[in-house]
């Protein structure tokens, strides 16, 4: 009996000590991104990726793996929302409905709740085709229950709902009107909250599959990464599910998502650091794909940029997990001519003096330097090796303890 216990103990800790996640799928071309939103164009199957900053950067590819080509800006003139003239745009969300693509975006004053969510439309998604419609009716100010950024639209039956929020009251939701340009005029309501990291939850994304709505959220420190935050407090992704799109979300252990519930689906591992703020897309020939941005610890001297990552999902017992298998991404068979432009080069910050990003980089309770430059995150190179040493040291201690236990129990 003791031998069985010891062997079970060994297997359990061996699993914890080894990499729990597959590394991201291949990416070629323009793979730099922050807060990516990905969709396939109905006319030709081409993938389009929208990213925070640069007034929403647009890139396209024939495959989820690339090669990604930078096309230009969605709204180079900025938003028409009053009070936010010239302010950069963040956290895009993209949907398609009845021949029209809807691009939702956030505007905000750094480190505050002075925020709003806008929307633009296009029939092709190419640069130059977007028409800005301005405010959706979702906004916030000091004292609001939430911060009105990080929108995501989900369809349930014939209705559409917008989830949004970052820090403060975390994730809220509101019903949209049938035109998808404004809210339906009903009150918003909370669907998720955590006590983790002073309410460090944002980037909601709701995905429907086989009778369940899955609420993916990103927890922890997305951007203030110099010096490294305490291990485990950096960005990572969690998930809850419900049979309703509008509430009742619980994690795998049955904990309510409004009471700090959330099952971890992706976190730092191997060279991947602080993965988060993405979504799920169905890729023909591959399956459900979780996409996100992450910091690459193998970047050499440039330890700042965030990159596009993706992994295939498996669904044991109707819960998403990162697949350990390999899949070949599908390449579209149709191609169309798209506009091309040279992407503006952004120099990543190497210290605490850098341009501000949004959300919890300057969110509730934040008092540090604004260390988030256009679509990038800064981390301390000197800390990478220390974190790896601590990781392997913990693993070796555990495995050494198990080995000693087996020596005592096995003749």
Catalytic residue among 93, 132, 150, 202: 202
pLDDT of residue 326: 55
Active site residue 202: yes
Give, as one character, the DSSP assignment of residue 32.
Answer: B
Burial of 77: CB neighbours in 10 Å, binned 0-12, 13-18, 19+: exposed
Angle between helices 381-409 and 2-17 in degrees, nearest 10: 170
Query: Cα–Cα distance between 104 and 361 in angstroms, integer?
Result: 21
Catalytic residue among 35, 126, 170, 267: 35
pLDDT tens string for the chain (411 positions)?
444 333 333 333 333 333 489 999 999 999 999 999 999 999 999 999 999 999 999 999 999 999 999 999 999 999 999 999 999 999 999 999 999 999 999 999 877 899 999 999 999 999 999 999 999 999 999 999 999 999 999 999 999 999 999 999 999 999 999 999 999 999 999 999 999 998 999 999 999 999 999 999 999 999 877 677 899 999 999 999 999 999 999 999 999 999 999 999 999 999 999 999 999 999 999 999 999 999 998 875 555 579 999 999 999 999 999 998 755 554 443 322 222 122 222 223 333 333 333 333 333 333 333 333 333 332 222 222 222 223 323 333 333 333 333 333 434
Using CA of residue 184, residue 189, residue 194, residue 195, what is the dihedral sign?
A: positive
pLDDT at 112: 85
For the record, the structure tokens of 204 come out as 């909601």
Q: In the prediction, which pLDDT does 212 show?
A: 99
Alpha carbons 396 and 401: distance in angstroms, whole number: 8
- Tell me phi and psi for residue 132, to 5 degrees: -85, 130
CA angle, residues 114, 134, 138, in degrees to nearest 5: 45
pLDDT tens digit string along 147-200? Answer: 999 999 999 999 999 999 999 999 999 999 999 999 999 999 999 999 999 899
pLDDT at residue 179, rounded to an integer: 98
**Residue 270 bears catalytic tag:** no
For residue 166, what is the DSSP state? B
Closest CA to 232 of 387, 350, 36, 377: 387
Enumerate residues 6+ apart whose C-beta is below 8 A from 137.
182, 183, 185
The whole-angstrom separation of Cα 50 and Cα 73 is 9
Percent of the chain with pLDDT over 90: 68
Number of Cβ within 10 Å of residue 251's Cβ equals 20
Distance in angstroms (rounded) separating the CA atoms of residues 165 and 145: 10
| Neighbour tally for 278: CB within 10 Å | 26
Backbone angles phi, psi at 305, to 5 degrees: -70, 145
């Amino acid at each position: 009996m003791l031998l069985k216990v010891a062997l079970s103990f060994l297997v359990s800790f061996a699993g914890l000590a080894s990499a729990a996640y597959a590394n991201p799928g291949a990416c070629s071309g323009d793979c730099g991104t922050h807060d990516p939103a990905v969709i396939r164009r109905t006319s030709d199957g081409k993938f389009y990726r929208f990213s925070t900053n640069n007034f929403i950067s647009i890139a396209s590819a024939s495959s989820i793996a690339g090669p990604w080509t930078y096309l230009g800006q969605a709204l180079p003139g900025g938003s028409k929302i009053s009070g936010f003239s010239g302010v950069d745009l963040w956290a895009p969300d993209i949907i398609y409905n009845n021949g029209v693509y809807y691009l939702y975006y956030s505007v905000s004053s750094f480190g505050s709740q002075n925020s709003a969510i806008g929307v633009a439309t296009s029939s092709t998604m190419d640069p130059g085709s977007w028409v800005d419609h301005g405010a959706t009716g979702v906004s916030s100010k000091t004292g609001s229950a939430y911060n009105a950024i990080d929108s995501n639209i989900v369809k349930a039956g014939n209705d559409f709902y917008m989830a949004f929020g970052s820090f403060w009251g975390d994730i809220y939701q509101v019903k949209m009107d049938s035109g998808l340009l404004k809210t339906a005029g009903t009150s918003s309501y909370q669907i998720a909250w955590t006590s983790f990291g002073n309410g460090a939850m944002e980037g909601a994304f709701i995905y429907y599959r086989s009778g369940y709505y899955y609420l993916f959220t990103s927890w922890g420190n997305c951007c203030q990464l110099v010096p490294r935050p305490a291990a485990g407090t950096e960005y990572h992704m969690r998930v809850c599910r419900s049979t309703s799109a509008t509430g009742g979300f619980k994690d795998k252990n049955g904990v309510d998502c409004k009471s700090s519930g959330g099952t971890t689906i992706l976190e730092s591992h191997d060279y991947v650091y602080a993965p988060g703020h993405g979504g799920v897309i169905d890729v023909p020939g591959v399956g459900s794909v979780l996409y996100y941005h992450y910091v690459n610890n193998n970047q050499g001297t440039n330890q700042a940029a965030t990159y596009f990552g993706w992994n295939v999902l498996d669904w044991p017992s109707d819960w998403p997990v990162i697949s350990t298998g390999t899949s070949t991404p599908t390449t579209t068979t149709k191609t169309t001519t798209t506009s091309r432009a040279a992407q503006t080069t952004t120099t990543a910050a190497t210290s605490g003096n850098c341009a501000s990003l949004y959300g919890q980089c300057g969110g509730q309770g934040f008092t540090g330097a604004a260390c988030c430059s256009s679509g990038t995150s800064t981390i301390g190179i000197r800390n990478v090796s220390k974190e790896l040493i601590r990781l392997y040291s913990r693993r070796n201690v555990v495995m050494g303890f198990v080995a000693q236990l087996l020596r005592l129990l096995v003749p």
